[in-house]
Structure formats: structure tokens, C-alpha cells
Amino acid sequence: MIEQLRRERPLVVCVTNDVVKPFTANSLLSLGASPIMSGEKSEAADILKHAGALLLNIGTCTEDKIPLYEEMARCANEYNIPVVLDPVGYGASAFRRNLTDKLLGEYDIALVKGNAGEIHALSGREAVSKGVDSIIEGNTLDIAKDAHEVLNVPVLVTGEMDAYADGKEKMTMHNGHKYLEVITGSGCVLGAITAAFLALENKSDSIADAVSLYNIAAEKAARSATGPGTFAAKLIDEIYNFKTEDYNARRVDVHE
Ligand code: ATP
Ligand code: TZP
Ligand code: MG
Ligand code: MG
């Protein structure tokens, strides 16, 4: 799919947080996709008309931006474009919970992705996030399956072991590097990359391909990084240089 992606260069509309916009746009460009960041409700229909996917990341959303998120979701649904929702900090505040619950309740979401604390709380369990960081120890596959059962949408839970659950597939993915925990936006960027893959084909393989590519790129970047700063730059290089053979050489996925 990576070759198809580089040929098709799908447009990914990103309504995302202020912390991660350049990192997200650079990662999508390195991948071969075409990013546009937007914060303007009145352009939703115009830009989504040509888009392959929409990313909604609530990381720095404010009350006045709720109509923007809703209009983007509405237009994407109208045009049948997959929507990836990243409920950043879901457990951290009532504002984040109410916004996420509204988006999930009123629009078709192709994928909810978040860290273990966010998705655990999203299933109606006790909120165990500290700000945007997960502090939960639970098994990500159990958390993904639980959330899928409650929400009835495909769910990706990230962490040292990533886990995915939809109506047909339950699986874990085991690539990645601990440097991803110490750069801000590593989860947010993965949300954008899954959106780019879903722009090509909306199936569970698309998610697994996206997660594995990103985490294998991270493993390769970590080989020559001297710390989180150099790692972040090398991660973009390794996304850019990723080859199909890298999957064969390093990928570790386990299907239930
Ligand atoms: P948090 O804010 O809690 O860090 P997040 O939204 O940034 O959450 P993560 O769960 O850190 O998201 O996941 C982001 C990426 O980092 C995913 O690709 C995941 O596989 C990877 N990752 C996270 N922790 C590790 C780890 N300890 N080892 C390997 N890869 C990891
Ligand atoms: N604060 C609001 S959004 C954000 C921070 C630090 C970025 C979170 O990024 P990630 O990828 O979820 O760690
Ligand atoms: Mg993080
Ligand atoms: Mg996150």
C-alpha cells in the first residue's frame, strides 16, 4: 500500500492540535501524502470535496471550535470520506469527554485511536489519564476489544504493544521504540498516518500497515539517534525512506 500511497498522494485534511501541526504535515509529506491543516469551518465542504480522509484530533480544541469539528465531520460523512478521531486527553477534562462523545454519537467514525488511558476512559471506565499522557498499565488488546464492544467502531490503542479491534479483526502490533514516548505528538502523527492509509482502502489491514510502517521507521531512526531531538528528525527521514522490504524484515503482528 505504501507504493500506492506514493502514487496517489491522497489529500488528508487535518483538524489537529497546535502542538503537532508542523510535525504532522512533515510526516505526511514524507510518507507521500498531501496534508492540509484547517481551522476554518466555512471551507470544510470545499477542501473535503478533494480529500481522501479527515483527521479530527481534539488536542487543543476550544469551545468556539466545536462547530468546526462538527462541520468537518458532517461534510466528510456526506462525501463518504473516512474520519479518524484522536480523543487526546479524553480522561483529563469534562470538555474533552463531552466533545468526543458528541462526535462519536453523531457522526460515522472510521477509526478511534488513542493511548490506553484515553480509550479505557472512552469505554466508560474510570478516567486514568494525566493530561494527554496515559498512566494506565492495562493490556491494550483488552482495552481495544472492550472499547469496540461499547462503541461499535474500529479502535486502535497505542502503547508499547499496539492493539486493534473491529467487528472482524483483533490483533496486536509489536514494533516501535521507547523514544516515541518522549517526543510530543508521536501519537497524533500516527493518527494522521492511519488517515492517509484509510484514504486508499478502508479495512483493518490499512490500520496495521500504517502502524507497522510508523513503528518500524521509529526503530530504524533510533539506531542512529542520540536522544529524542535527533530521533524526531530521523523519524521523518525513515518514513520518507521506508521500503516495502522493511515490513518483511522487521514487522511483528499477532492476529487473535
Ligand atoms: P502518550 O501521550 O501516553 O505518550 P500517545 O498518544 O503519544 O500517548 P503512544 O501510546 O505513546 O501515544 O503511541 C504513539 C506511538 O508510539 C505508537 O506508534 C506506539 O506504538 C509507540 N510507542 C509508545 N510507547 C512505546 C514503547 N514503550 N515502545 C515502543 N513503541 C512505543
Ligand atoms: N497538549 C495538548 S495536545 C498535545 C499536548 C502536549 C500533544 C499530544 O500529543 P500525543 O501524540 O498525544 O502525545
Ligand atoms: Mg505521546
Ligand atoms: Mg495521543
Kindly provide the ipTM of the predicted complex, given to two decimals.
Answer: 0.97
What's residue 184's pLDDT? Answer: 97
What's residue 231's pLDDT? Answer: 98
What's residue 128's pLDDT? Answer: 67
Fold category of 2-249 in CATH: UDP-N-acetylmuramoyl-L-alanine:D-glutamate ligase (3.40.1190)
The closest residue, in CA terms, to atom 2 on ligand 2 is 59
What's residue 124's pLDDT? Answer: 86
What pLDDT digit, counting tens, does each position of 155-193 carry? Answer: 999 999 999 999 999 999 999 999 999 999 999 999 999
What's residue 127's pLDDT? Answer: 67
What pLDDT digit, counting tens, does each position of 80-134 carry? Answer: 999 999 999 999 999 999 999 999 999 999 999 999 999 999 998 776 667 887 8
Give the residue-averaged pLDDT of 206-231.
98
Q: Show the DSSP H helices in the chain as ranges.
A: 2-8, 21-31, 44-48, 66-78, 94-106, 116-122, 140-151, 186-198, 204-224, 228-240, 244-250
DSSP line for 90-109: GGG-HHHHHHHHHHHHHS--
Is ligand 2 within 6 A of the CB of residue 185? yes
- Domain segments of the chain: what residues? 2-249
What's residue 134's pLDDT? Answer: 80
Which residues have CB under 8 Å from 26's CB, separation 6+?
236
Environment of ion ligand 4 (residues, CB < 5 A)? 88, 187
**Closest ligand (CA of 214):** 1
What pLDDT digit, counting tens, does each position of 10-64 carry? Answer: 999 999 999 999 999 999 999 999 999 999 999 999 999 999 999 999 999 999 9
